[in-house]
């Protein structure tokens, strides 16, 4: 008897995979259980035996049942007490119970049976076709409920997938906008991963370092900053508490172009943390200091030219005065020219300031 009860849950699990539903038969007499099995066998469902109220409760702990056929008069826990315990459990509260009895036919027992949660109360002997039809109704209802649960689960999963797809679409759109902003930015922007490999290299970075994006992606950033200055800047930012990080702090670095030329630049380094691990991102090379220094030199030259203009004008006046004096002396010597060597007869050609200094001065 005990061995049968232990095997019943495993059998129920096996038949559930085959599309059958479980029907629990509870009676303390084996001949009554055999008769119930003969009546319900045409339904083609899996019938599980229980010889007492305790055995029935054990079966309900491991399996789900479409309906329970429960004898009223049993030793130990009787049918009413067993039904009360079944209805007191959240997992089995809504399992329909049909009471079967050959003795307790009074209205008092019938009322008590319905009061403890039974859906029907049948007295023995009963019509096999009537019992089979009632059980078939509950089996069909159980299948429809299982189908509704399955459809509800599918709808819930579909709603979750739709939300995930919308969220993913928004993220992709945001990433596309960010990539477009980065691509067209006036500053050189380099995005690094946790291993300090280049994951993004915008157009300005291509111009500054003189190499295409395809050759830069995946390389270690130390290839662009061989002096180790960027590594030190990244380490400093990593070791700085997030609340104390200054996103606009400039770091003076020296980069190396594809042709091997080294050049000075200034950069800001920002550290972002995502999904529980540190990720380096948005290394922004502000401006190639070489370009800025060249522009500064040009500006300094213009300033110097403005400062020397008064001196040049004074010098021009002095040269003009000397030219006039020289011309007067030459004119005073013209009477002596015929007696001079022919090579010296050509007077000295006067010269002006314009031959010495450009017109812009």
- 76 in Cβ contact with 56 (< 8 Å): no
Residue 172 lies in a domain: no
Share of the chain above pLDDT 90, in %: 28
What is the pLDDT averaged over residues 209-213?
Answer: 89
| Last residue within a domain, chosen from 293, 308, 329 | 293
Domain count, the chain: 3
pLDDT at 15 over 50: no
Residue 266 lies in a domain: yes
CB count in 10 Å sphere of residue 196 = 15
In angstroms, how far is CA 25 from the centroid of its own chain?
53
Give yes or no: residues 284 and 302 share one domain. no
Give yes or no: residues 46 and 116 share one domain. yes
Residue 360 lies in a domain: no
pLDDT in tens, 271-303: 665 332 333 333 444 445 555 555 555 444 455
- Which segments of 184-288 does DSSP mark as H helices, in order? 203-209, 213-216, 229-238
Share of the chain above pLDDT 70, in %: 72
pLDDT band at 2 (very low <50, low <70, confident <90, very high): very low
Q: Which of 21, 6, 3 is CA-nearest to residue 59?
A: 6
Helices 79-88 and 53-62 pack at an angle, to 10 degrees, of 20
Give yes or no: residues 6 and 135 share one domain. yes
| 48 three-state secondary structure | strand
Give yes or no: residues 202 and 329 share one domain. no
What range defines the domain where residue 76 resides? 2-139
Placement of tokens 């291509």 in the chain: 206
Q: What is the mean pLDDT of the chain?
A: 76
Give yes or no: residues 108 and 210 share one domain. no
Per-residue model confidence (pLDDT) at position 360 = 47
Per-residue model confidence (pLDDT) at position 108 = 78
- Which segments of the chain does DSSP mark as H helices, in order? 2-17, 30-40, 53-62, 79-88, 107-115, 128-183, 203-209, 213-216, 229-238, 289-332, 342-345
Per-residue model confidence (pLDDT) at position 341 = 53
Give yes or no: residues 118 and 73 share one domain. yes
Give yes or no: residues 254 and 301 share one domain. no
pLDDT in tens, 94-119: 999 999 887 766 777 788 888 888 88
- 187 in Cβ contact with 200 (< 8 Å): no
The Cα 207–Cα 264 span in angstroms is 15
Give yes or no: residues 223 and 305 share one domain. no
Q: What is the CATH number of the domain that holds 134?
A: 3.40.50.2300
Per-residue model confidence (pLDDT) at position 179 = 73
CB count in 10 Å sphere of residue 126 = 13
| Last residue within a domain, chosen from 81, 105, 139 | 139
Give yes or no: residues 276 and 317 share one domain. no
- Does the reported pTM lie above 0.85? no
Residue 169 lies in a domain: no
- 269 in Cβ contact with 233 (< 8 Å): yes
| Last residue within a domain, chosen from 110, 139, 168 | 139
Give yes or no: residues 29 and 93 share one domain. yes
Give yes or no: residues 273 and 327 share one domain. no
CA–CA distances in Å: residue 80 to residues 63, 67, 91: 21, 16, 18
What is the pLDDT averaged over residues 36-65?
Answer: 93
Per-residue model confidence (pLDDT) at position 338 = 56
pLDDT in tens, 216-248: 898 888 888 888 878 888 888 777 766 555 555
Per-residue model confidence (pLDDT) at position 304 = 55
Q: What is the CATH number of the domain that holds 191?
A: 3.30.450.20
Residue 164 lies in a domain: no
Per-residue model confidence (pLDDT) at position 13 = 42
Placement of tokens 């045409």 in the chain: 42
Give yes or no: residues 193 and 303 share one domain. no
């Amino acid at each position: 008897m005990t061995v049968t009860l232990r095997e019943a849950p495993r059998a129920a699990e096996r038949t559930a995979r085959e599309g059958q539903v479980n029907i629990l038969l509870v009676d303390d007499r084996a001949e009554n259980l055999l008769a119930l099995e003969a009546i319900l066998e045409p339904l083609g469902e899996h019938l599980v035996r229980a010889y007492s109220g305790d055995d029935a409760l054990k079966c309900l702990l491991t399996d789900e049942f479409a309906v329970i056929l429960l004898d009223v008069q049993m030793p130990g826990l009787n049918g009413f007490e067993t039904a009360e315990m079944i209805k007191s459990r959240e997992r089995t509260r809504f399992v329909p119970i049909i009471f079967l009895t050959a003795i307790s036919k009074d209205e008092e027992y019938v009322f008590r049976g319905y009061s403890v949660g039974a859906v029907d109360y049948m007295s023995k002997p009963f019509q096999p076709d009537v019992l089979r039809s009632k059980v078939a109704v509950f089996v069909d209802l159980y299948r429809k409920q299982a189908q509704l649960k399955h459809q509800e689960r599918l709808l819930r999963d579909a709603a979750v997938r739709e939300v995930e797809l919308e969220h993913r679409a928004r993220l992709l759109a945001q990433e596309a906008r960010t990539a477009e902003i980065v691509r067209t930015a006036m500053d050189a922007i380099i995005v690094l991963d946790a291993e300090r490999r280049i994951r993004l290299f915008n157009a300005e970075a291509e111009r500054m370092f003189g190499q295409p994006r395809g050759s830069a992606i995946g390389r270690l950033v130390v290839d662009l900053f061989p002096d180790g200055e960027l590594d030190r800047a990244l380490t400093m930012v990593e070791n700085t508490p997030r609340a104390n990080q200054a996103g606009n702090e400039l770091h003076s670095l020296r980069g190396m172009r594809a042709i091997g030329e080294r050049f000075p630049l200034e950069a800001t380094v920002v550290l972002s943390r995502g999904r529980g691990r540190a990720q380096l991102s948005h290394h922004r090379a502000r401006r190639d200091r070489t370009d800025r220094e060249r522009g500064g030199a040009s500006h300094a030259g213009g300033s110097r030219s403005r400062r020397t203009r008064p001196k040049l004008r004074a010098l021009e006046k002095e040269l003009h005065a000397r030219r006039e004096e020289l011309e007067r002396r030459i004119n005073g010597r013209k009477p002596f020219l015929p007696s001079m060597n022919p090579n010296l007869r050509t007077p000295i050609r006067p010269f002006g300031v314009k031959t010495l200094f450009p017109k812009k001065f």
